[in-house]
């Protein structure tokens, strides 16, 4: 069976990492297959949102320690680039990506989840950056993205102690947006996607670009970026449909995404 399962559920692509023998640890081949699944989602005009999840008791239990162990400095630099590029791609891709964290999200697995737009966790999930306990640090963006999401102090504590936290703690620090019963996780993730999918997708994508810009710019330039994106949407049919629909008292506007 494939180590990545790609399914379409309405306008949502569900990408399931399926390498349970290693708790879905990220090896070079698996990263390549996740990229192929993301290609399939991006190249399908009918897909508006993406969910990434895992099979078994892990979301992704980190980078594959067996594959990394023998590498030297140059070898690991090239290898780490694969994870960095994957996470940068998830972060900057036009479609919103939701991490449905079904179990362990550790090391490179949590780093991938940090690059997603929204994180939803099963109540049984455990998360952490255990790298310092292995004598290394994160290599795929964890030290950069975690402080932006949970704040500097909490991020330092998680990274220096290498301790795992449970889903409730993750919720309380803003690491995940929601916590659900394990059996409700996919329904919850799909419901969030459905709430996104019904909106104008040109607007959703512009919103993602604008929120992303807020990380890299000061507020002045960020607001200019936002204003330009906002204005550009007035060239679209969706703006007339959405605002015209409101003025006509329509409840369910069907956007054309044009």
What is the binding site for ligand CAA (CB under 6 A)?
Answer: 22-23, 25, 61-66, 83, 104, 106-108, 111, 130-131, 134, 138-140, 142
> Considering beta carbons, is residue 12 or 55 the nearer one to ligand CAA?
55
Q: Is 28 a catalytic site residue? A: no
> Considering beta carbons, is residue 42 or 91 the nearer one to ligand CAA?
91
Q: Is 111 a catalytic site residue? A: yes
Pick the catalytic residue from 131, 226, 237, 250: 131
Beta carbon of residue 174, minimum distance to ligand CAA (angstroms, whole number): 21
Distance CA 17, CA 111 (A): 15
Three-state secondary-structure class, residue 7? strand
Strand partners, 60: 105
Beta carbon of residue 86, minimum distance to ligand CAA (angstroms, whole number): 10
Q: What DSSP line would sit under 23-91, residue for residue?
A: TT-B-HHHHHHHHHHHHHHHT-TT--EEEEEESTTEEE--B-HHHHHT--HHHHHHHHHHHHHHHHHHH
Strand partners, 52: 15, 99
Pick the catalytic residue from 42, 67, 91, 111: 111
Beta carbon of residue 125, minimum distance to ligand CAA (angstroms, whole number): 11
> Considering beta carbons, is residue 83 or 200 the nearer one to ligand CAA?
83
The residues assigned a catalytic role are 111, 131
């Amino acid at each position: 069976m494939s180590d990545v399962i790609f399914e379409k559920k309405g306008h949502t692509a569900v990408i399931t990492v399926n390498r349970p023998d290693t708790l879905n640890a990220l090896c070079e081949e698996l990263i390549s297959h996740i990229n192929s699944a993301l290609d399939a989602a991006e190249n399908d005009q009918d897909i508006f949102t993406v969910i990434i999840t895992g099979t078994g008791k892990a979301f992704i239990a980190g980078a594959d320690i067996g594959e990394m162990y023998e590498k030297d400095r140059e070898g690991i630099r090239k290898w780490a680039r694969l994870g960095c590029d994957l996470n940068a791609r998830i972060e900057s891709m036009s479609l919103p990506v939701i991490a449905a964290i079904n179990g362990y999200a550790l090391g490179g697995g949590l780093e991938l989840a940090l690059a997603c737009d929204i994180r939803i966790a099963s109540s049984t999930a455990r998360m952490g950056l255990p790298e310092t306990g292995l004598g290394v640090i994160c290599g795929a963006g964890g030290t950069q993205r975690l402080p932006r999401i949970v704040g500097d102090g909490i991020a330092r504590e998680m990274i220096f102690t290498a301790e795992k936290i449970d889903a409730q703690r993750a919720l309380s620090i803003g690491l995940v947006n929601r916590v659900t019963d394990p059996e409700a996780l996919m329904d919850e993730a799909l419901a969030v996607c459905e709430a996104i999918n019904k909106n104008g997708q040109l607007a959703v994508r512009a919103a993602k670009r604008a929120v992303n810009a807020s990380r890299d710019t000061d507020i002045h330039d960020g607001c200019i970026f936002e204003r330009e994106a906002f204005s550009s949407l007035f060239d679209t049919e969706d703006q007339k449909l959405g605002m015209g629909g409101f003025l006509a008292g329509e409840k369910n506007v069907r956007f054309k995404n044009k």
